[in-house]
Amino acid sequence: MNDTFVTVVGNVADDPRRKTTQNGAVTNFRLASTARRFDAGLGQFVDSGTFWIDVECWNGLSGNVARSISKGDPVIVHGTLTTHSWESDNGPRSKPQIRAYAVGPNLAKGMAVFKRDRSGRAPDAAAGNAPGTAVEPGHGAEPDAPTPGWDYEGADATLSSVDGPDLPQEPAHA
């Protein structure tokens, strides 16, 4: 296969729209990614052009995206670059889009709380993966059973406190 994989960092430009089709559930949203560059004449960073692209998320990813992100959220999208084509009154039209395999918050812009999907769905459907793709070991058969190396022990266990004394009080600068 000659799929073109891309990773785009940007902001969700509109509220995600979820619908069910004959091929499964899909959530779509528009992503805006604005480049920044240092302007030596001004002595500061300035915005360059904005790259706009439509993102489509299928099946398990569709539901998780619809419940997790909203307009304005900073996200990172990874997927394949595709072309959406259609006929208009003026003839054939097309535009690029990303078929997302992963969508997540941009933690350089804030904090997030992750909640693992424990619905008991098949691993491929829960992860939004195509059949036969790699899935975390041990997930799917017993959704609530901890898997060593993948799950925390205890209901609310974390690696460290988010309010620890060794954490800086100011956000990191990009």
Chain segment 94-150, per-residue pLDDT in tens:
999 999 999 999 999 999 888 887 776 544 444 444 433 333 333 344 444 444 444
pTM of the entire predicted model = 0.65
Locate CATH 2.40.50.140 in the chain.
Answer: 5-109
User: Do 52 and 35 contact (CB within 8 A), yes or no?
Assistant: no
| Residue 93 dihedral angles phi and psi, to the nearest 5° | -130, 160
Q: How far apart are CA 119 and CA 139, in angstroms?
A: 11
Domain 5-109 has CATH 1.20.1730.10: no
Q: Which residues, in sequence order, are CB contacts of 99 under 8 Å at separation 6+?
A: 56, 58, 79, 80, 82
Q: How far apart are CA 173 and CA 60, in angstroms?
A: 34
